[in-house]
Amino acid sequence: MIELSGLDVYYGAEKVLDAITFEAKKGIFVGIIGPNGSGKTTLLKAISRVVPLSEGIIRLDGLPLVDLSSRDLAQSVAVVPQETNTGFDFTVRDVVLMGRYPHIGRFARETEEDLAACDLAMELTGITPLSGRSIHAISGGELQRTIIARALAQQPRHLLLDEATSHLDISHQVDILTTIKKLSEEIAVIGVFHDLNLAAYFCDEILVIKDGKIAAAGTPVEVITPAMLHSIFDLNAAVSIHPVTGKPLVVPLPGSQKMPENNLRVHVISGGGTGVEIIRALHRLGCGVTAGVLAMNDTDYAAAMELGIACITEPPFSPITESSRLALGGQIAAADMVVLTATPVGIGNLDNLHILADSAKTPVLFLSNNGRVTLPDYTGGKATAFLDFMIASQRLAVLPWNLLLDRCRFKEEKQL
């Protein structure tokens, strides 16, 4: 495990890392993203004791970094840097075998174990056919795979990757990161990424650094949002959940994607794709749209994430928790209106409807182009009974969704 607490690093008078605190343990692949010059590489250099700390402490497996000998540190931590000096004319195998030096005694020769570790590392990185080639006679991508193999041959307990796959083609990027992802089950791995989609796919946790500080941390779904990308990278991008991988997918948007401002606040209760069009349409109008509670594999959730809309979520096939109930009640209370679509309702999401009964001050509009108030009811009639109650108590109005948009435009014109 790698533990950092209150880390400060200065270059001269310039503070480049400010109060960095986090931990990386085996089983969790931690990715670090952030703009150029934000301190990502410096953070890895601090962990590998290349740069000194001004404040704070780093522990490796519970031991303070400063208490480790150089040999102990080399046996524990392997680093794949951005750039590597290749001044001497070594063979590829010679370079990979350098990863075994921390384990070989002074004046001793390589053992069978050392040679086997070297062979395995070359096999994992796909460079076995290059074994006897000079490192001056291979491509930049092949050299990078050689440096990664050297780190793997070291058999470290902690692996630090500084844009380790940036020089590789997409096939080798995926192969190498798949191998490292597998290794992260047994060792602590921290990797700096510029490719946000690779980070989202392979990493279990994402750390966002800006101006030397941690700006965000969490799972890829929690961290990689349009709002974060705009705030940290000044990037307009759509973020959706890939239907196969379930991971965030970032697509940069050309030009300005700013929506018109609109003071109307609308909360959308939907699901199963029934809210995608209305969420997008309300967003285009500039309304303050919120959504949920939605499962994180729902296409309505993907639409909300793509547009940077605040969304209350639960894991797939999970019931609505008390914290989500409270959040939903708050969103409804803050909204000018609630839009309810003909979403499929089961026992797991029935509370989406029940909470509406407790929010008497916020008007509820049911979207129906045929005038009927029906929805797929998988609750044994409980959802339908709720709709009947809302109609009888005059708490629910039926509206075609195109008329809803007209109403939103009209309300905004009145506000103006």
What's the pLDDT score for residue 399? 77
Instruction: Determine the pLDDT at residue 222.
Output: 86
The pLDDT value given to residue 317: 84
Residue with tokens 């966002």: 208
Specify the CATH architecture of the domain 265-415.
3-Layer(aba) Sandwich (3.40)
Alpha-carbon torsion (294, 320, 245, 179), positive or negative: positive
Any alpha helices (H) in 154-225, and if so which ranges?
170-183, 196-202, 220-223
pLDDT at 235: 85
Cis peptide before 293 (omega within 30 of 0): yes
Cα–Cα distance measured from residue 199 to residue 218, given in angstroms and rounded to the nearest whole number: 12
pLDDT of residue 253: 67
Using one digit for the tens of pLDDT, what is the confidence trace for 103-142? 887 767 888 899 999 999 999 999 999 999 998 899 888 9
CATH of 2-248, one of 3.40.630.30, 3.40.50.300, 3.40.630.10, 3.40.190.10: 3.40.50.300
**CATH 3.40.50.300 intervals, the chain:** 2-248
Whole-angstrom CA distances from 294 to 196, 299, 314, 318, 349 are: 25, 9, 6, 10, 8
| Cβ pair 163, 192 in contact under 8 A | yes
Torsion on CA atoms 75, 80, 83, 88, rounded to nearest 10: 50
| Ranges in the chain annotated CATH 3.40.50.720 | 265-415
Residue 413: the pLDDT is 43
The parts of the chain modelled with pLDDT lower than 50 are 256-260, 411-416
Q: Could you give the strand order of the β-sheet that contains 205-210, starting from the edge strand earlier in sequence? A: 77-80, 158-162, 188-192, 29-33, 205-210, 213-218
pLDDT at residue 154, rounded to an integer: 92
For residue 63, give Cα distances in angstroms to 2, 19, 107, 255: 9, 20, 29, 50
Q: From the CB of residue 155, how many other CB atoms can be counted at a distance below 10 Å?
A: 20
